[in-house]
Structures are given as C-alpha cells and as structure tokens.
C-alpha cells in the first residue's frame, strides 16, 4: 500500500557551553590567593519528543529554526555557571529524523513520549581552578565553552489519510483539495483524472490539522478490479471519515442521487465496513443554475430512503461553505476510532541507512595563492573555539595541543618555511621551525 511523505527540513542548534573563568582569590589575610575561576555550564540539548496529538508536520512549516540556550559562563570565587535547559520539540508519531546532507538516520520516533537527543549541547569550559598543578599553582588558563552541535535535519512523516474525498470523476474533488490545502493536484477536465491519490494537509480555523486524500474517481466495478479501483480502495480503507462530493449542477448529465447510490454500492461491494464510516455529503457546484432545484430533489429522495445524512452546501470555486465542512470533519475525527495502520504484508518497511564515516585525519592543510597555510578540521576547530586567546598560557597550551596532533610535522612535510603565515579560522600565527 502506498504511503505518502510529509517532508520538511529544519535547522537545529544546541546551546554552547559557558566559558571557564580565569580568576584568583583576592582576600584580606590571604597573601597569595589561589586560582578561583569556575567552570562554564553545559549548553542545552535539542530533544525531539513524540506527541500523539500531532498528525502532520504542519507546525514546522512556520518554524524552521530551533535553538537551545547557552550555558552560563563560570564566575569568580570558584562558582560554576549554570547549565542551560534542554529544548523539547514535539513531533507526530511516525517521524523519521535524518541528516539533510548525508541521509544518516538519527531517530525513528514511533511511540508517544519517546525522546531522542538530536543535537547535543556543548560542555562548559573549565575554569583555571582545574589547571592548577604543583608546578603551576596559579595558572592563567581557562577554556571557552564547547560549541553546541548544529545540524540541518530532514523530518519525514509517512502519512496515511485521515479523511477521504470520494465521488465520481470531475465532481470537483481535486479543486476542493487544492482550495482547502497546500496540495496542488493536477486537474484535467476529463473522466478518471486523478491517477494517484493526492494528499493535502488541511488546517481548520481553530488550528486542528488532518490529512485529506482525494480518492481517484471510483467507477462502477472498481471493486471487481476494473480500471484503477483496487489500489485506491485500499487507501480508502484506512481513512476514518469520508467526504462524499456530489456535483449538484447535474451538468455532466447524471442525477445526483444516482451518483450517491452508485458510489455507496461500490463501497458496500468492496467491504461492508466502509459503509460504517461517518460520511458527510458535500453538495458541490452550488453556484450553478440548476443546483438548488437538484439539491431539493436529492434531499427528498434521501428522506424517502430513511437515511440520516449531513449535507453541506459548497462551492469549491468560490470557496463558499468550506469552513463548516472542515470543522465538522475535525470533530468527527476526534470521535472516530483509528483503524489498524499496517497490513501484515506491509509490516516490513523499507529503510535505507547511510552510515556516516568521519574522516580519519583530524585536520586538512591547504595553501592559498598568497602563500598562507590554512588549517581546517573538526577536532582542530573545536580546540580553537575552546581556547581563550586573552591569556598567554592558554595560547601556549593550544600550541602544545596542535603540536601533539602532528600539525607542525605535517606542515614541515608540505614545505612550510620559518616565518610562513598559518591560519585557523580567523586566527593567524607564524610558523616557527
């Protein structure tokens, strides 16, 4: 059974860690106060959590950036900065979270309340208390906080229609769908136009949302597998509310009540349970000349049959009467139970996982036309961002760390000479043999 994707790309940025502090005790009667700079707090994580009240990714259409708070900086007197609160983002059940660039799967969120840390907050930088040693009891070293993770992620939701639009070809289902949702179905003025179900996300005036599918026009005999019937009827099986669109203008030369009976017989033939779904009748094309007269006759016939149905007068073209239908549909959805989502045969879902392989080298060396050597690499850039260049000791420590990574050696091999300029991000220094 085909399912459809609701897809959106968002940017998440976890909080940076707070910076560590360089401070010393300055107290009366303590002649040589020791180091007293506290650590920075941890930045906030970004955590996705499943909320079964959500049906679509509609909310992400309007908000594509999520940023957690940074940790507090360390303070003097050995006080540590406070860690930031995590940012929780609600997603509907069935959401798959992937890296937008590499396709790497981060999380497959299925059950209510399930959580996944999508971007980790940076750890706080250590204050100078941490760097005191017997050899160096008063260090002027502190780290800056580690940057929080930032990612472009893609959310995918496999959607099943909650609501199905049924009715003959060319009664205006595609037009209706295009008016009430962001879907842009291909509309043709010939029978049997919609080849695959078009899905649209619909939002009611009071902010509830649901998935509406335009079911391809059923024709008599679809239940026996004539035409395109069977595949689509399976899609209808999943829907909880049916909107039955009837062309009240009779412009195609058909009688509205016959249309109504034919389609419902189809549903009955195919599967009795389909007739038990709540069904709203949408009397469409009410702006046409004969529509009022035809509607009166339709209502008479329905009364004779003793059926109780709700009829909504609508003109999809001029958008009259749509609000009432959508609100009533949302109400019905809330009171209609869900039908099982999976067939046994579709339980196995195809998933491709792309493994993300980080590069083994921690740095790359490029040479610019003006002779500057440029160093890049994740580990290196993180070290650079966590170094506080205001203090010479921190700078010396940074120099030792990059030497330990083998960068000096690599530069020498590439032909770097004494006095050459080396750049990391925006920081430049001279290469010294």
Q: Which residue, among 131, 190, 198, 188, has the nearest Cα to 165 in the 3D structure?
A: 198
Check whether 188 is labelled as a binding-site residue. no
- Residue 187 marked ligand-binding: no
42 marked ligand binding residue = no
Is 181 known to sit in a ligand binding site? Answer: no
β pairing state of 4-13 and 65-67: parallel
On whether 320 is known to bind a ligand per the annotation, the reply is: no
Is 278 marked as binding a ligand?
A: no
**136 assigned binding-site residue:** no
Residue 9 counted as an annotated binding residue: no
Residue 168 marked ligand-binding: yes
SS (H, E, C) the chain: CCCEEEEEEEEEECCCCCCCCCCECCECCECCCCECCCCCCCCCCEEEEECCCCCCCHHHHHCCEEECCCCCCCCCCCCCCCCCCCEEEEECCCEEEEECCCCCEEEEECCCCCEEEEECCCCCCCCHHHHCCCCCCCCCCCECCCCCCEEEEEEEEEECCCEEEECCCCCCHHHHHHHHECCCCCCCCCCCCCCCCEEEEEECCCCCEEEEEECCCCCCCHHHCCCCHHHHHHHHHHCCEEEEEEECCCCCCCCHHHHHHHHHHHHHHHCHHHHHCCEEEEEECCCCCCHHHHHHHHHHHHHHHCCCCEEEECECCCCECHHHHHHHHHHHHHHCCCCCCCCCCCCCCCCCCCCCCCCCCCCEEEECCCCCEEEECHHHHHHHHCECCCCHHHHHHHHHHHHHCCHHHHHHHHCCCCCCEEEECCEEEECCC
Q: Is 171 annotated as belonging to a binding site?
A: yes
Q: What residues form DSSP beta bridges with 202?
A: 181, 210
Residue 337 in marked binding region = no
Binding site annotation covers 246? Answer: no
196 among annotated binding-site residues:
yes
| DSSP element (H, E) containing 4 | strand 4-13
Residue 174 annotated in ligand binding? yes
d(CA 45, CA 353): 24
Tokens representing 300 are: 């008479």
Q: Is 46 annotated as a binding residue?
A: no
189 is in an annotated binding site: no
Q: Is 2 annotated as a binding residue?
A: no
48 marked as binding residue: no
Could you tell me which residues are annotated as the binding site for Mg(2+)? 174, 194
Could you tell me which residues are annotated as the binding site? 167-174, 192-196, 214-217, 284-287, 315-317
Could you tell me which residues are annotated as the binding site for GTP? 167-174, 192-196, 214-217, 284-287, 315-317
């Amino acid at each position: 059974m085909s399912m459809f994707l609701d897809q959106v790309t968002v940017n998440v940025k976890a909080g940076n860690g707070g910076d560590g502090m360089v401070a010393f005790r300055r107290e009366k009667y303590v002649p040589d106060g020791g180091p007293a700079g506290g650590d920075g707090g941890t930045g906030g994580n970004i955590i996705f959590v499943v909320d079964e009240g959500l049906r679509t990714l509609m909310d992400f259409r309007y908000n594509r950036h999520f940023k957690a708070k940074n940790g507090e900086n360390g303070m003097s007197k050995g006080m540590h900065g406070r860690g930031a609160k995590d940012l929780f983002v609600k997603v509907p059940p069935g959401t798959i979270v992937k890296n937008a660039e590499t396709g790497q799967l981060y999380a497959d969120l299925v059950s209510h309340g399930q959580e996944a840390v999508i971007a980790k907050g940076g750890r706080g930088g250590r204050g100078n208390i941490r760097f005191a040693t017997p050899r160096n009891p008063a260090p002027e070293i502190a780290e800056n906080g580690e940057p929080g993770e930032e990612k472009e992620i893609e959310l995918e939701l496999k959607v099943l229609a909650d609501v199905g639009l049924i009715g003959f070809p060319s009664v205006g289902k595609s037009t209706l769908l295009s008016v009430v949702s962001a879907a842009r179905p291909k509309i043709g003025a010939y029978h049997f136009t919609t080849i695959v179900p078009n899905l649209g996300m619909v939002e009611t005036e009071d902010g509830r949302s649901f998935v509406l599918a335009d079911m391809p026009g059923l024709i008599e005999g679809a239940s026996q597998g004539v035409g395109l019937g069977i595949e689509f009827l399976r899609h209808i099986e999943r829907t909880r509310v049916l909107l039955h669109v009837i062309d009240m203008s009779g412009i195609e030369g058909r009688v509205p009540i016959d249309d109504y009976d034919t389609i419902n017989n189809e549903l009955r033939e195919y599967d009795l349970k389909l007739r038990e779904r709540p069904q709203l009748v949408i009397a469409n094309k009410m702006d046409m000349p004969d529509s009022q007269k035809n509607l009166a006759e339709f209502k008479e016939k329905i009364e004779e049959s003793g059926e109780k149905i709700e009829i909504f007068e609508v003109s999809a073209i001029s958008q009259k009467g749509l609000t009432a239908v959508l609100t009533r549909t949302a109400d019905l959805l809330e009171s209609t139970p869900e039908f099982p989502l999976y067939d046994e045969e579709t339980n196995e879902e195809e998933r491709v996982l792309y493994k993300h392989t980080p590069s083994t080298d921690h740095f790359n060396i490029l040479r610019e036309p003006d002779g500057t050597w440029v160093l890049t690499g994740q580990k290196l850039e993180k070290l650079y961002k966590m170094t506080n260049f205001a203090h010479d000791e921190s700078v010396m420590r940074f120099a030792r760390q990059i030497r330990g990574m083998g960068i000096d050696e690599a530069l020498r091999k590439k032909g770097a000479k004494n006095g050459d300029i080396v750049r990391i991000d925006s920081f430049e220094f001279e290469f010294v043999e």
